[in-house]
Each structure stands twice: as C-alpha cells, then as structure tokens.
Chain A
Amino acid sequence: MSEMYGKGILKGLGVTLKRFWDTYWEDAIWLFRQVTRGERRYRSPEGIAHRASKNTRGIFTVQYPEEKLPVPEEFRFVPFLVYEEGPNGEKVMRCTSCGICSRVCPPQCIWIVRTTDPETGRPIPDPAEFYIDVDICMNCGLCAEFCPFDAIKMDHDYELASFGRSVYDKEKLAKPVAYYESIRPLNAARENAARAAKEAARFATSAKPEA
C-alpha cells in the first residue's frame, strides 16, 4: 500500500478517544444534574430513558437486573388469559372457548377443551382446559389480535427462565383484568370503550320495540 502513513488510523483513534472522553463528560453533566435537580444517571427512570434517547452518550449499558429497560405497551411475550373478578371473588374467564386463537395460531401451540353441559350436551362458553406449549409459541401475537372477546393477551413478563420445559395450563395462564389494564392501559381503555359502545348499541336496539 503506497499511502500507509497511519493518518487514517489516527483519525479513527480520535473517534474512540472522543467516545472515551464522552463517558466522563456525560458523568460530569449528570453529577451537575444530580446536584441541581436531583436527577440520577443510574438506577433511575430518567437515567434509563436518557440512555434510550437520541442524546445518549458515553455509557449505554442498562444494568439489568438492578435497572430494567421499560417495555413499550405493545411489547409481546407469551400469551395469557384475562379473567375478571366475580362478585364473590371467583375468577370469571373472559374466554368463551370459541377457538379462534387456536385456529389462527401459526405453530398451532394452543389446545382448548370446550366445556359441555352434562345435561344438554351443549357447549358452555368457558374453557374446560386451555394449554399453551410455550416451547412452541412464537410470540407472534396473532391470537391476541384476533380474539373477539379480548380474552387472550400478550404478556409483558419476560423473566420466565426455568429448570424445565414450559407447558402452561389454564391456572398458570390466567391473570386478572387489573393486571392487563396495568400493562396495557391504552389498549385496555380503547377496548373497554368499544365494548361499552357495543353494549349501549345493543341496549338501544333491544329497547326500541318496547318504545
């Protein structure tokens, strides 16, 4: 190579040097912010948010498990079933075992047994058994997307490592509606509003003939 002066290498080293300097400069700025405004660089929501913003400089690491990168509302990990608290504190599943989720599931990892009335033999809208093989599930979210009853939703909890294979049954999958509303407030509000509107419309049409 004819132009082997090392100028390019020095230029590159300048970049690394700048980044090295940035680390300490950023810490100094945050020290100032901590003194004046009480904002901390590490182990604080504002610090984590800063490291995920366009202005992040210097140390980029989020120190899991002490700090956790917040997940956005749409984040999806494995599915769960939403239940509502009944008047006596019993769990009322939203799921009607209509089977749409098991039909739409791409790797076919959802197994549902429908309950039938022992006397009439007709189906009851409540799943007798509900299994999800988490070790097949691809977290695609199609089940939650197409569930007409808002009964199956994608979870935010990703800390699921275990010492054995995971097949989740109905007990393990069921989570209260309050939990759902806490992880996905905007979606839940939208769905509740839509359901209320539907309910109102049905009430209006059923009330009309009497009037």
Chain B
Amino acid sequence: MTAPAPVETLDLAARFPDWVTADARPGYSGWIVEKDKLPDFARALRDDLGYDYLSSVTGVDYLPEGKMEVVYHAYKTTGGPGVVFKVQVARQDPVEVPSLVSIYPGAEFQEREAWDLLGIKFTGHPDLRRILMWEDFAGHPLRKDWREPYFEEEFKPFKSRWPEGKFQMAEDKARLGDNLSFPAGFDPQKKTDFDPEKALYEALRQYQKTESGLETEHLLVNIGPHHPSTHGVFRVAVVLDGETVLSLKPVMGYLHRNHEKIGERNTFLMNMPYTDRLDYLTSMSNNFGYALAVEKLMGITPPERAEYIRVMMAELTRIANHVWAIGFLLNDLGAYFTPMLYAQEERELILDIFEAVSGSRMMCNYFRFGGVARDLPDGVLEKVRDLAFERLPRKVDELEALLADNEIIRSRGIGQGVLTAEDAIRYSAAGPLLRASGIPYDVRRAEPYSIYDRLEFDVACRPNGDIYDRMMIRFDEIRQSLRIIQQTVKQMPGGPIMAVKPAYQVRVPPGEAYGRVEGPKGELGFYIVSTGKSSPWRYHVRAPSFINLTAFGPMCVGQKIADLVAILGSIDIVLGECDR
C-alpha cells in the first residue's frame, strides 16, 4: 500500500535554469521546456527525480498565438502529485518536437495520435503513422483551422435551431451532399488506387528475424475489425511463424467518433452526456473524471452527500465493469458464455440501480458540475444495501469458485502473457493491468480525490503480471469496491446534492486543468483548456484502454496466437474509449 508522498516543492526552473521556465500564464501551471532539451530533461526527470510514469501526452493548438504546444503529465508510481511540462513550437509546417518514446515507451501511441489529429511531427519516433484516421486522409482534424464537412458554427448552440429553426438535415446543406470534403484540386473520378494498408504492413514487417532451426514461411494474419474476440471493432495485424507471434501491430480508429473535436464545440455541460459514450460500460466513472476536471477549473467542490453518491456510483460501475470483463475473458479462453451469463445477472441488477437513479442503463449522464443531477429516488439506497451487503459478496465468491481453481484457466493463464513491473511502468499501463504486475499504484490512493482519503480500502495488487493474475485482481477489486460501497451506504449523509444552482451555462475561468480518476480500466484523465468562453478550447481524454494497448504488442511477441486473444481479453479494452 502506498501512502501519499509528502508534497515537496519542486522548482524545476532553478534546477534546470537554461532548459526550463515556469508557465506563468494565468490559470496555468507547470513548466515550459526548451524544445531541443526535452529528451535530456525527460531523462533527468525520470532517473534523478523519480517521475517514472508518463501518464498523458497531448497537443494543443493555440491558433491565435500561432503556437502549438505539447503537454506532458508525469507522475511517480510511489504516489503524490505529478509534474506538468510543455514544449512550445511555432505553428508552421512542419511542427516538430523530439519524441520521448526512447525514454517513456508509453508515449508511443499518444504521440502517434498527436501526429494524426494535430499534425505534430515527433522526430525520432520509431513508427510515426496515423493511428485513428487512415493514412491518406487529408488534414489534421483537431487543428483549429480544420473544418469538417458538416461544419456549421464555431460553437454550440447553433443559431439555425431557434427561433427560425426550419428543420434541415445536415447532408442537405453540405456541399457534396454527404459528410465528406476533398482537398482542393482533387478529382474523385480520376484517382482511386489508394492503399490504406501499405504503411501498416511495412511497419509490421520490421521485426528481428531469428535464425534458428528450420526456415519457415512467415504468415501475415489480420484479426478483426470484425472478429468476435476483439471486443468491438479492433484489429490486430500479426506476423506468425507457425503459431508463434513474431510481430504485432494493433490497428484502431474504426470507432473514432471525433469525441474531442465535437467536445471543443460543445458547451461544458453538453460534454457530460458525450463522456458517457467514451467507455460505455463505465459511464459513471467517465462523468466523475470530467466533472472533477471542470470543477477544478471552476474552483467548486460538491456537497458531502453528492460526494458520497458519486463514490457509490463509481464503485458500482467498477463492479459492473469487472464482472463483464471476467465474463468476456472467459469467453476468449473458450468457456463459451456460461461464466459470462452468470456475471451478466449481477451486472443487470447494478444497471437497474443506474436506471432508477439516472434514467438510463448505460448512458447515465448523472454528474453535474458541483454535484449530481438528482437525489437518490426512494428505495435506491435500500437496493444498493441489499446488493452490497448480501447478494454481491455471495455471488462474487460463487463466480470465483467457478473459475479460480479451474485447471484449464490456470494452465492457460499462469505464466502466459507476462508483463513485468518495469515494463508496465515503462509502457504507462494503468489500472488492473499495472496492479497485476505488482505495482500498487491507484489514483484513489496516490492522489486521492473526492472522499477516497476518508474511506477504508486496500489497493489490490498481484505479483506475477500474467493473464491469471489479471483475472484474479478483478475479483480483488470487486471486493474492495464492495467495502467502499458498504461504507458509503452506512455513512451516507443528508443535505443538498448541488453546491451551486443548476445551470446549463457555467462560467469557467480561463486556464488549464487535468482531472483524473481511477476508472475501472485505469487512470482516466481529462485535460481541459478554457479561454473563459462557454466551450473548452482544448478537451483531451487520457483513455486507459488506448494507452494500455501500448503494452499489448510487446506482451504478445513470442506467444502463441491463441494466447493473443486471451491477453487482449485480460487487458480489457473498450473501443469507444480507445478510439474516442
């Protein structure tokens, strides 16, 4: 168990006077690093200061200032607050920033995403391809001067809706009659020989060829995006030698729904229901993270009762997610549907509570800035009590009895798909994936938010980092969540549920904020830049499903292809969050 580290005053500007200056913009914090010194700075930060965990990398397009900024959030896996550092470059092509993949390999996918969506070129990146869009796509959509075909206005609400809201479909208004646009001079009738896969296959073939034994023909296999065990529209391209994986590249973006671009047009409140659709299995947690980030900017804290309700809902979400994850991992291992159907019953009962509280089974949209949308209806607290004290502990034991000792699961799981503790940190793995590798890092303990500092619970941790441990740690976490829910039920205070008057237009002062919660899949962070307007200037989601996949390739190389599916199942990804 980690205790929060004592807060030390960290003056990086004094330590690295030639490299670093403090970010003095009002509402901002952190350090601005000289572009050329970034790798040296990051190495010193990791090796000398102990910030071994690079949580988030993202870019911001400051169009009026003519600047692009890359923002990094680094933490210590022993706990405590993090450090934010930034690199600023002029906004003319090419925008180049040195890559940090050699120091923090966990930055690999995040830098690719920043290249794809913002056009920031990371020099020295081993495999800088587009990640969410396809290779031939025109433009970098998150740049502020890039406009989509259905562009209507810079910010919502749109003027065309009221008071003269003549109904018109977006496709009827669009120039080409469809949601598409072509770059100037492009003739759709002429060039049609695009090959979106070429760059992928070239990157996939870059692997160490071993020279041992018989020479065999290596086979390229695509799994997904339509495949029952990829948990959605996820695709894995692998090169196989017999059944052994030699090289693996995850391909995503098949569910890239432009969450961030839409989020930067929405008002702050409008984003709340959109966050439900990130990791659609855990909407309450997503609400939590987003509400925390905006509340940080606004400088408000919700009342006691709202905090307790929030924590109770977030932990119920964790249980619902973990029973689902266990059920589907067993599906992937070949225990076709029986454990899943058992687990599903408990999830349905939890969803009933969400439905009664928020009105929807999955898309809860329950949190508001400064509280929650409505108080618990009559009878809900009793229902939670019944589940948390009676039914769920019994059922979790039953599910564990069904699975934990099963010889097939043990032999498929123990020692397979190992992620060592060092690698887990290096690849910025989060949540159960990190903790199953023996690192007791949990945001609820490392940097407590809401009322977690008052609640008693243990950080679940398992030492081996294999598939079996990743399954068992979910049982441990369900038990800890039950403990938390039991405490919230017992201590639930009365009083108001909103700190401020509910309003659909909130005033958010200019500045930046990074709110993070321990979601069921890992650290879920929201990076928000406000300019004081009704919509965020930059809205970025640090999605645990996405970043956990960075470790997927290294975990699978050398394993059998049948285990690849099990390893993916044990990471537990949701594509809505992975692709956003």
Report A's interface with B, CB cutoff 8 A: 1, 3-9, 11-12, 14-16, 19, 52-54, 56, 60, 71-76, 97, 99-100, 102-106, 108, 110-114, 123, 129, 131, 133, 138-142, 145-146, 154, 167, 186
Contact = CB atoms under 8 A, between A and B. Distances in A.
Contacts of B390: 54
B352 interface: yes
11 contacts: A7-B407, A8-B407, A11-B402, A14-B401, A72-B355, A74-B355, A99-B162, A105-B270, A108-B157, A129-B165, A146-B502
A12 B406 contact: yes
B490 interface: no
B359 interface: yes
A80 B398 CA distance: 44
Nearest to A18: B398
Please indicate which of the listed interface residues A104, A105, A108, A139 has the most CB atoms of chain B within 10 Å of its own CB: A108
Given A8-B410, A12-B401, 9 more contacts: A6-B407, A14-B401, A54-B349, A74-B359, A75-B355, A102-B161, A102-B162, A129-B165, A145-B502
Contacts of A9: 406-408
Nearest to A52: B352
A108 B405 contact: no
B274 interface: yes
A112 B402 contact: no
A157 to B, nearest CB: 14
For the complex of A and B, 4 pairs with smallest distance between CB atoms: A8-B405, A111-B165, A140-B273, A99-B162
B387 A142 contact: no
Contact of A113 (B165, B356, B411): B165
A1 B161 contact: no
A15 B401 contact: yes
Given A9-B407, A146-B504, A138 B363 contact: yes
Interface in B250-292: 266, 269-274, 276-277
Interface string B380-415: 000100110011000000100111111111110010
Contacts of B502: 145-146
B534 to A, nearest CB: 10
Contacts of A53: 386
A114 B164 contact: yes
Contacts, number: 157
Nearest to B153: A108
Nearest to B152: A108
Contact of B403 (A12, A76, A99): A12
User: Could you say which of B168, B406, B414 has the most chain A C-beta atoms within 10 Å of its C-beta?
Assistant: B406
A183 to B, nearest CB: 12
A106 B270 contact: yes
A11 B269 contact: no
Contacts of A97: 162-163
Given A3-B407, A7-B405, A76 B359 contact: yes
A145 B373 contact: yes
Contacts of B404: 8
Contacts of B166: 111, 113, 129
Contacts of A140: 272-273, 276, 363, 365
Interface in B327-363: 338, 342, 345, 348-349, 352, 355-360, 363
A147 to B, nearest CB: 10
B464 to A, nearest CB: 15
A114 B158 CA distance: 16
A112 B401 contact: no
Contacts of A99: 161-163
A74 B168 CA distance: 31
Nearest to B368: A145
B161 A112 contact: yes
A57 B268 CA distance: 44
Contacts of A110: 161-162, 165
Contact of B156 (A73, A108, A139, A186): A108
B373 to A, nearest CB: 7
Given A19-B342, A74-B359, A106 B411 contact: no
Given A11-B401, A139-B363, A111 B167 contact: yes
Contacts of B169: 133
Most buried by A among B160, B168, B359, B402: B359
A141 B359 contact: yes
Contacts of A102: 157, 161-162, 165
Contacts of A14: 401
Nearest to B411: A1
A104 B387 CA distance: 36
B377 interface: yes
Contacts of B175: none
A4 B407 contact: yes
Contacts of A73: 356, 377
Nearest to A167: B167
Contact of A12 (B269, B345, B402): B402
Interface in B139-186: 156-158, 160-169
Contact of B402 (A16, A75, A139, A186): A16
B355 A113 contact: no
B67 interface: no
Contacts of A129: 165-167
Contacts of A52: 349, 352
Contacts of A108: 156-158, 161
Contact of B338 (A11, A16, A100, A123): A16
B374 interface: yes
Contacts of B356: 72-74
A187 B404 CA distance: 47
A58 to B, nearest CB: 11
A99 B157 CA distance: 10
Nearest to A55: B391
A142 B273 contact: yes
Contacts of B164: 113-114
A16 to B, nearest CB: 7
